[in-house]
């Protein structure tokens, strides 16, 4: 969730056209407090048949490519999307409920990571760091009995 973000400016800041659909997609992602799947986003926007599924995927790819949006993998089959880390949003781990598919953002300092000398010596290029915990959320735990 981002209350400080001007989505139009965000899009313009990476030198792409802030089209209506791109804005809508980024808004859906930004106004949500947890990451969403492409299909979640599509369904949200398609309430009034206003966008095509393929367009959603293409916009997501673009926003990820421009580092405005973060593509987060789950233990499940679909990727989820959330606002990329920036000054207002520190990078943070996620929790994925393997029962209901809900994904939550965890506080950035629930875990502290120290990447020793590793990063300096790694022979390839590292673009991204992802950390995820899988389990059963409290709601599903309750339902279980």
d(CA 34, CA 46): 20
**Closest among 75, 69, 64 to 132, alpha carbons compared:** 75
In this complex, which beta carbon is closest to DNA, that of residue 103 or of residue 108? Answer: 103
Q: Which does 51 bind (CB under 5 to 8 A by kind): DNA, its own copies, none?
A: DNA
Q: Residues 31, 34, 43, 79: which binds DNA (CB under 7 A)?
A: 79
In this complex, which beta carbon is closest to its own copies, that of residue 86 or of residue 99? Answer: 99
In this complex, which beta carbon is closest to DNA, that of residue 32 or of residue 37? Answer: 37
Q: Which does 112 bind (CB under 5 to 8 A by kind): its own copies, DNA, none?
A: its own copies
Rounded to the nearest 5°, which phi and psi values hold at 64? Answer: -70, -45
Q: How far is CA 114 from CA 30, 102, 108, in A?
A: 29, 28, 14
Q: Is 57 exposed, middle or buried (0-12, 13-18, 19+ CB in 10 A)?
A: middle
111 lies in the site for DNA, by CB under 7 A: no
44 lies in the site for DNA, by CB under 7 A: no
Q: Mark the segment that binds DNA (CB under 7 A) among 1-9, 33-41, 84-92, 120-128.
A: 33-41
């Amino acid at each position: 969730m981002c209350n400080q973000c001007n989505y139009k400016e965000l899009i313009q800041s990476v030198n792409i056209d802030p089209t209506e659909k791109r804005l809508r997609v980024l808004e859906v992602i930004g106004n949500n407090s947890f990451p969403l799947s492409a299909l979640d986003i599509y369904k949200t926007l398609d309430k009034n048949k206003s966008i095509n599924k393929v367009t959603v995927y293409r916009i997501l790819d673009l926003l990820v490519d421009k580092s405005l949006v973060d593509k987060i993998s789950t233990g499940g089959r679909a990727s989820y999307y959330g606002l990329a880390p920036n000054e207002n949003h520190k990078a943070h781990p996620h929790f994925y409920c393997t029962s209901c598919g809900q994904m939550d953002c965890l506080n950035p300092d629930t875990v502290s990571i120290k990447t020793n000398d590793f990063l300096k010596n790694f022979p390839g290029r590292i673009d991204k760091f992802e950390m995820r915990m899988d389990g059963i959320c409290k709601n599903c735990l309750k339902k279980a009995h």
